[in-house]
Amino acid sequence: MARIMFAYQRLKNEYEKLRKSTENADLFKFISRALDDISHDHRCGIQLQRNIIPKEYVRKYGIDNLWKYDLPNAWRLMYSVGGDRIEVMAIILEWCDHKSYERRFGYKAR
């Protein structure tokens, strides 16, 4: 089991806003399912190689590992795993659509 944490309060607030939004109900459902899956098995996503972790993530969050959980409709949820021998934490960094994901990782021209 992993404890789910958001990298910063604003992201948690955005998640809570999705809960109240009728137009984003599907995205909220997708993210909620992902959080549940990650909490039960923090390795359920795809671990990305260190050399492709965006420098922005390393600078902003100080991470050395990055995981991607593919959501429906080409959305992605990015998280990092940390903790100690007693507790594993999955830190949610962001969720983004496919276009934003490609830009962040340099797969398409900016």
CATH number of the domain enclosing 36: 3.30.2310.20
Q: Over the stretch 33-89, which tens digit does the pLDDT of each residue have?
A: 999 999 999 999 999 999 999 999 999 999 999 999 999 999 999 999 998 888 999
Give the pLDDT of residue 110.
47
For 50-87, give the DSSP string: GGGS-HHHHHHH--S-EEEEEPGGG-EEEEEEEE-SS-
Has residue 6 been placed in a domain? yes
Q: Over the stretch 15-39, which tens digit does the pLDDT of each residue have?
A: 999 999 999 999 999 999 999 999 9
Q: In 3D, which of 84, 87, 69, 82 has the Cα closest to residue 32? A: 69
Q: How many domains does the chain have?
A: 1
Instruction: Record the tokens describing residue 4, joined without a space.
Output: 């789910």
Has residue 67 been placed in a domain? yes
Give the pLDDT of residue 85.
81
Has residue 110 been placed in a domain? no
CA 90 to chain centre: 9
Structural domain containing residue 41: 2-104
CA pair distance 49, 63, nearest whole angstrom: 12
Give the pLDDT of residue 63.
96
Give the pLDDT of residue 108.
65
